[in-house]
Amino acid sequence: MYRVELIVINKDGVRDPEGETLKRYVLDPEVPNRISSARVGKFIELLVDASSKEEAERLVAKLAEEKRLYNPIVHKIRVRAERLEDGSS
Q: What is the CATH number of the domain that holds 43?
A: 3.30.1280.10
pLDDT for position 47: 98
Q: Would you say residue 22 lies in a domain?
A: yes
pLDDT given for residue 85 in this prediction: 86
Residue 8 is assigned to a structural domain of this protein: yes
User: What gap in Å lies between CA 51 and CA 82, rounded to an integer?
Assistant: 12
pTM over 0.85: no
**Does the pLDDT value for residue 61 go beyond 70?**
yes
> How many angstroms separate the CA atoms of 28 and 23, rounded?
6
- Under DSSP, is residue 71 helix (H, G, I), strand (E, B) or coil? coil
Does some domain include residue 52?
yes
Q: Return the H-helix or E-strand segment holding 77.
A: strand 75-83
User: Residue 67 falls within a domain, yes or no?
Assistant: yes
Per the structure, the count of domains in the chain is 1
Arithmetic mean of pLDDT, 45-55: 98
Count of Cβ atoms closer than 10 Å to residue 9 Cβ: 19
pLDDT of 24 strictly over 70: yes
